[in-house]
Amino acid sequence: MSEDKAISRRNEKVGEVVSTKMAKTIVVEVTRRVAHPLYRRVVTRRKRFYAHDEDGTARLGDTVRISESRPLSRLKKWRLAEVLRRAAQVSVEPENVGDLPPLTGGQSEA
């Protein structure tokens, strides 16, 4: 084993960013599939982790790796390690917005 690569013993998880609305904080949802203890049916378990994102590099929908760290606040005990895959950003072109019909409130104007 080479000495130039340090082995981190910190717990790491991979998940999807579901919220970036806080300053320097992202919410990462980690999904895992486990067998039900009684019925042996495969079920999906999801858990949300608050992670520290100092530079604000993660965006909504990105797949990221987070690593365990010291407690940074009451809920934040993880740091953003890296962005694994960027989410496809869908945007509306400004010139096409005028072509859309106006939204109505669901009530007729009488």
Domain ranges of the chain: 12-88
Q: For residue 94, which phi and psi values (nearest 5 degrees)? A: -60, -35
For 1-110, where are the alpha helices, taking DSSP H only? 94-97
Q: What is residue 90's predicted lDDT score, i.e. its pLDDT?
A: 74
Instruction: For 3-12, write each residue's pLDDT tens digit.
Output: 667 777 889 9
pLDDT value of position 1: 53
Residue 7 is predicted with a pLDDT of: 77
| Closest of 62, 1, 2 to residue 26, by C-alpha | 62
Which CATH superfamily includes the segment(s) 12-88? Nucleic acid-binding proteins (2.40.50.140)
Tell me what pLDDT residue 23 has: 96
Low-confidence residues of the chain, pLDDT below 50?
none
Classify 64 as helix, strand or coil.
Answer: strand
